[in-house]
Amino acid sequence: MSRPRVLITRALPADLLQPLAAIAEVEVWPQEVTAMPRADLLRRVGGCHGLLVLLTDRIDRDLLDNAPLVRAVSTMAVGYDHIDVPECTKRGIAVCHTPGVLTESTADLCWAILMASARRLYAGQQAVREGAWHDWAPFFMAGQDIHGRTLGIVGLGRIGEAVARRALGFGMRTLYAGPSRKPEAEARTGARHVPLEELLAQSDFVVLTAPLRPSTHHLIGRGELARMRPEAILVNVGRGALCDEDALVEALAAGRIWGAALDVFATEPLAPDHPLLALPNVIAVPHIGSATVQTRRAMAALAVAGLADVLLGKRPQHCVNPEVLPAS
Ligand code: GLV
């Protein structure tokens, strides 16, 4: 039997691709920094049995119509909102992703931007560089306390729990909101389950780590922002569309909340003239939650393993629609 064909939509370290190269004909889009244009993607998926994609690739019905042979789509991400999973399931296509390996580095980044916002690190550095640092002054660059305050986590999944665990070191009280209670995570972190309204009203830091689903789209809108405390900071390391960005701009511009620290945006890359970037109380970084060399290598290796497993007829470690897999 001829070897399956695989398309990898971004250049990845060659050593990590070995498990696929050993079993398949592999085509790799040669760019690392820029995504494969949609037209190229549509053209190249035709003869492929497997796709290794990134969150910049939209895997929708249109694309799947062009890819009749595909048996597996493996994304180098934990979030799979860029993939039409029900459509894949209907066609018997396995969807794999990379949870677990990015949990800790994403929680680290969450704390990095939370702290940078609370303690005004970018503004402080800019002041030093621009010669705007004069005498020590009582309220110069005064930010917000972090220790001892209240952290509210919207979505206590793996990443949310890792964020909550770090809060223990700061002596914080942690609340969380989500569709169900997580007694084991509560026992490990001391977090308390509360309705979203209560979390918003009580938290000094509101951290979004929930997955993006139809039910969580614009979970934080005008009404929710209005419930937040004037000294509160919104931190988003989940997906941009969890929050209504227009409403967020209004709340920040009016000083209704103290600041926002954002790693994700409704449209990425964020346009340099986006109104969020005109606001001094916004910290924006380019979707780098999991961006460490170690973690990105682990994610690539896991995405490769998932795709190789499906093509070999084995059960992959992290399949979001296992019902399409042959019974084990
Ligand atoms: C990154 O946002 C991911 O989903 O892995």
Domains of the chain in start order, with CATH, are 5-101+293-324 (3.40.50.720), 103-284 (3.40.50.720)
Long-range Cβ pairs for the range 218-226 (8 Å, 24+): 218/242, 218/243, 218/244, 219/154, 219/243, 220/154, 220/244, 220/247, 220/248, 221/247, 222/247, 222/250, 222/251, 224/196, 224/200, 225/250, 225/251, 225/256, 225/257, 226/251, 226/256
Q: What is the DSSP string of 233-281?
A: EEEE-S-GGGB-HHHHHHHHHTTSSSEEEES--SSSSPPTT-GGGG-TT
> Quick one: pLDDT at residue 273?
98
78, 103, 239, 262, best to mutate for ligand 1 pocket (most atoms within 8 Å of CB): 78
> Quick one: pLDDT at residue 188?
98
Give the dihedral sign, CA 208/209/215/218.
Answer: positive
Closest ligand 1 atom to 102 CA:
5
Burial of 320 (0-12, 13-18, 19+ CB in 10 A): middle
Q: Is 268 a catalytic residue?
A: yes
Q: 317 C-alpha to center of ligand 1: Å?
A: 17
> Quick one: pLDDT at residue 327?
85
Lookup: tokens for 140: 């110069």
Q: Is 239 a catalytic residue?
A: yes
Q: Is the pLDDT of residue 1 over 90?
A: no
- CA atoms in the 13 A half-sphere facing the CB of 60: 6
Lookup: tokens for 149: 């305050």
Q: 42 C-alpha to center of ligand 1: Å?
A: 23
Burial of 179 (0-12, 13-18, 19+ CB in 10 A): exposed
Pocket around ligand 1 at a 6 A CB cut-off: 55, 77-79, 102, 289-290
Say what percent of the chain tops pLDDT 70.
99
Closest ligand 1 atom to 98 CA:
5
Q: What is the mean pLDDT of the chain?
A: 97
Q: What is the pLDDT of residues 50-100, one digit of tens each?
A: 999 999 999 999 999 999 999 999 999 999 999 999 999 999 999 999 999
Q: What is the pLDDT of residues 107-122, one digit of tens each?
A: 999 999 999 999 999 9
Query: What is the pTM for the complete model shown?
Result: 0.97
Average pLDDT for 150-169: 98
Q: Is 198 a catalytic residue?
A: no
Q: 276 C-alpha to center of ligand 1: Å?
A: 22
Given the residues 5, 149, 239, 296, select the one marked as catalytic: 239
- CA atoms in the 13 A half-sphere facing the CB of 130: 7
